[in-house]
């Protein structure tokens, strides 16, 4: 979940490239940051805290002529945030500096071995074993690249690792179950955990596969396999504009990305819907005959989208279930050649989801990745991939990717079941404009101001609105640090009502006027009878507003469209509560964007 940046160039601007790259990767971790510049000697600087702490302490004028280096921004796993635990880590002779993303599962045994050999460790991290391992091989007279490879060969677990050495202008890197992408520039080569780190410098990339190594110098980049054989690589072009990864005048990335949802959804739907023919065409996912169950695996926000997708399929007569990827156990969950397993992951690198998808592949199931990132691990390892086309999302709290996942999964359900109606296609077509109406007219800010001091927040919904209730609660937790819970509306009376007070606002998602809506209104009355304030999120087709203290409108949306539109109102409420409370909205405490550890 940490962020890595590396640069080997012909220009003497490595320090600026590294700092720009770290700025573009802060959503991956912001507990500490550091850089290592390599030439005749190694220069390492690192600081606890956000990137600004490193920038303030860095004597940039001393490194104006440096052209090769690596950098790192950390999300803590082993050891608390501190200067000493920050990356890069070096050996005891300052010959090699290493940055690492992932978890080294056998680090304790390696550390014990190295300690017994007389090596003293400075940090609490698992990463520090790597430079010390490399150093032991260097001491035996082994060349740098071979020493790096032998050290990597000793590591168990997940990793993206990059290393620089004194006396050379070369970066060595390797990956296993953790992302690493190379950038091909006109004046040098780049290495990063994610494209935003170098998108302002180049849009041409090479994605490293598991088990591959890379060697970068100012004059070339070479990719090899575990045996050292050169691998043929393909260069892909990223379609993002560098401005897409900026704030564009908004106070926070999250607010920008909430407002980008209409455009993101248009991109998701473009070329895939045919209203005249009444068809859905997902070019990368051919018709699949699912004779067995369809299983969704996902985490966090993506899990809520997966719940929505599974419900769509069940309503079309298909056996479908959503699993938390961390709880997906192929030994107890039936999966085989008749199964279809759909991995929903915005980054395409989520460790728990990738583990579940690999288990499904081993069992012979057909696998589909629903992801936002071209060339990601999920996209490469699954049989088929459905891109949601949301564009870069920098805010840690997912917003536009959730809406795009909902739309993509709706189309996928239509194609998998061949159950497509013109009403569904039209409803999807209308969603971007309906969300724009919400963005233009929402009174979420006033609602947030009313309830910013609440003890807790409850969100309730039924059917398609239940996953949205869970997502609304998750957003509130993530960025306000306030207690929030989402419930299936019918479950309130089975325990959660004990927690309801006059200072516990309940957000009730009620759309349509069917039996489900009427039952949810009954749950609202239960809340009202206990003096809890009610915020109705509704399209006005029921009478729920009669029992509400506030109303957040869901304009003109029906059926499968209403959960996508309703969610935007909840995103805005969470954003404005967090804003009023002065929270770190884009970088909430203890969280990171791309969760690449289990």
What amino acid positions are annotated as catalytic residues? 2, 593
Q: What is the CA radius of gyration of the chain?
A: 25
Tokens of 241: 């504009």
Task: 144-153: list long-range contacts, CB under 8 Å, 24+ apart.
Answer: 144/96, 144/168, 144/170, 144/172, 145/172, 145/215, 148/172, 148/174, 148/213, 149/174, 149/213, 149/226, 149/228, 152/213, 153/226
Torsions phi, psi of 484, nearest 5? -145, 145
Distance in angstroms (rounded) separating the CA atoms of residues 545 and 543: 5
> E strands along 258-371, which residues?
273-274, 279-280, 294-298, 320-324, 340-345, 366-371
HSE toward the beta carbon, residue 84, CA cutoff 13 A: 7
Strands 204-207 and 236-237: antiparallel
Distance in angstroms (rounded) separating the CA atoms of residues 412 and 400: 18
Distance in angstroms (rounded) separating the CA atoms of residues 172 and 163: 5
Tokens of 258: 């909430």
CA-based diameter of the chain, in Å? 81
Q: What angle do CA 67, 50, 46 make, to 5 degrees?
A: 45
Task: Return the residue matching tokens 């490879």.
Answer: 149
Contact 509, 463 (CB under 8 A): no
Q: What angle do CA 350, 317, 368 make, to 5 degrees?
A: 25
Cα–Cα distances in angstroms (integers) from residue 15 to residues 64, 189, 538, in the given order: 7, 14, 52
3-class SS at 296? strand
Contact 54, 47 (CB under 8 A): yes
């Amino acid at each position: 979940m940490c962020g890595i940046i590396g640069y080997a160039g012909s220009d003497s601007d490595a320090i600026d490239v590294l700092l720009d790259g770290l700025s573009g990767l802060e959503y991956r971790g912001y507990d500490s940051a550091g850089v290592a510049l390599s030439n005749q000697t190694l220069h390492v600087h690192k600081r606890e805290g956000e990137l600004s702490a490193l920038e303030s302490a860095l004597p940039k004028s001393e490194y104006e002529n440096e052209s090769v280096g690596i950098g790192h921004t950390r999300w803590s796993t082993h050891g608390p945030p501190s200067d000493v635990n920050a990356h890069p880590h070096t050996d005891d002779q300052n010959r090699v500096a290493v940055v690492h993303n992932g978890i080294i599962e056998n680090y304790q045994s390696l550390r014990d071995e190295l300690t017994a050999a007389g090596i003293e460790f400075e940090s609490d991290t698992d990463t520090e074993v790597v430079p010390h391992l490399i150093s032991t091989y260097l001491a035996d007279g082994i060349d740098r690249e071979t020493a790096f490879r032998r050290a990597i060969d000793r590591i168990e677990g997940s990793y993206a690792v990059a290393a620089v050495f004194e006396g050379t202008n070369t970066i060595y890197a390797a990956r296993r179950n953790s992302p690493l992408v190379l950038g091909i520039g006109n004046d040098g080569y780049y290495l990063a955990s994610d494209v935003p780190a170098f998108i302002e410098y180049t849009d041409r990339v090479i994605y490293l596969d598991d088990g591959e190594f890379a060697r970068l110098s100012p004059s070339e980049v070479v990719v090899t396999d575990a045996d050292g054989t050169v691998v043929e690589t393909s260069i892909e072009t990223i379609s993002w504009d560098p401005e897409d990864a900026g704030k564009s005048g908004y106070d926070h990335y999250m607010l920008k990305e909430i407002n980008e949802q209409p455009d993101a959804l248009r991109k998701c739907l473009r070329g895939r819907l045919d209203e005249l023919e009444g068809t859905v065409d997902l070019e990368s996912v051919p018709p699949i005959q699912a004779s067995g169950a369809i299983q969704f695996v996902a985490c966090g926000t993506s899990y809520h989208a997966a719940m929505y997708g599974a419900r769509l399929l069940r309503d079309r007569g298909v056996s479908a279930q959503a699993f938390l990827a961390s709880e997906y156990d192929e030994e107890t969950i039936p999966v085989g050649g008749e199964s279809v397993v759909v991995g929903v992951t915005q980054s395409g690198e989520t460790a728990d989801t990738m583990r579940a998808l690999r288990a499904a592949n081993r069992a012979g199931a057909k696998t589909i990745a629903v992801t936002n990132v071209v060339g990601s691990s999920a996209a490469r390892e699954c049989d088929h991939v459905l891109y949601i086309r949301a564009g870069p999302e920098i805010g840690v709290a997912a917003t536009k990717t959730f809406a795009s996942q909902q739309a993509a999964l709706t189309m996928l359900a239509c194609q998998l079941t061949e159950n497509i109606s013109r009403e569904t296609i039209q409803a999807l077509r209308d969603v971007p404009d309906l969300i724009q109406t919400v963005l233009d007219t929402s009174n979420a800010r006033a609602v947030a101001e009313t309830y910013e001091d609440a003890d807790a927040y409850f969100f309730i919904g039924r059917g398609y609105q239940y996953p949205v209730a869970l997502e609304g609660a998750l957003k509130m937790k993530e960025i306000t640090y306030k207690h929030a819970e989402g419930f299936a509306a019918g479950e309130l009376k089975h325990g959660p009502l004990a927690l309801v007070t006059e200072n516990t606002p309940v957000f009730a998602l009620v759309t349509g006027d069917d039996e489900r809506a009427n039952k949810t209104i009954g749950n609202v009355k239960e809340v009202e009878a206990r003096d809890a304030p009610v915020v109705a999120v509704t399209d006005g087709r029921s009478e729920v507003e009669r029992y509400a203290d506030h109303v957040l409108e869901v304009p003109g949306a029906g059926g499968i469209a209403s959960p996508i539109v309703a969610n935007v109102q909840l995103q805005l409420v969470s954003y404005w509560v967090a804003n009023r409370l002065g929270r770190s909205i884009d970088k909430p405490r203890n969280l990171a964007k791309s969760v690449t550890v289990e």
